Amino acid sequence: MKITKKDVEHVATLARLQFDDEELDLFTHQLNDILGYFEKLQQVDTTNVEPSTHAVQLTNALREDIQKESLSAEKSLQNAPDSERSYFKVPKIIEV
């Protein structure tokens, strides 16, 4: 299946993107190259290959979720440049 320049323009319109003619030509070429690669992959015999989600068998190396005592407000704020009561004080950045 070949992607046409018109197809790329249509998808760009749906995504609310604007491209000049040079970019449309480039993306059309790149998408056709990608599809050509997938066509090559479709020709590979995979009848004796088991489905997998990863090339290498992985397991999550997660620690147990153990509840621990949290830091006190005083200790949390000891290196803060500025604090007020038990809060970090930061400059206001939103103007109303």
Q: Is residue 11 assigned to a domain?
A: yes
Indicate if the pLDDT at residue 30 is higher than 90: yes
- Do 80 and 88 form a contact (C-beta atoms < 8 A)? yes
Q: Is residue 55 assigned to a domain?
A: no
How far, in Å, CA of 94 to CA of 96, rounded?
7
Indicate if the pLDDT at residue 4 is higher than 90: yes
Residue 70: phi and psi, rounded to 5, are -85, 170
Q: Is residue 51 assigned to a domain?
A: no
The pLDDT of residue 51: 81
The pLDDT of residue 82: 92
**pLDDT band, very low/low/confident/very high, at 21 (cuts 50, 70, 90):** very high
For the chain, the domain total comes to: 1
How far, in Å, CA of 64 to CA of 83, rounded?
33
Q: Is residue 95 assigned to a domain?
A: no
pLDDT digits (tens, 9 = 90+) for 42-95: 999 989 988 877 777 777 778 888 999 998 988 999 999 999 888 999 988 888
Q: Is residue 34 assigned to a domain?
A: yes
Q: Is residue 88 assigned to a domain?
A: no
Range of the domain at 13: 5-42
Q: Is residue 57 assigned to a domain?
A: no
pLDDT digits (tens, 9 = 90+) for 31-47: 999 999 999 999 999 89
* Predicted TM-score of the model (pTM): 0.50
Q: Is residue 32 assigned to a domain?
A: yes
Phi/psi region, residue 16 (left: phi>0; alpha: psi -120 to 50; beta: rest), is left
Tokens of 75: 């200790």
CATH of the domain at 26: 1.10.20
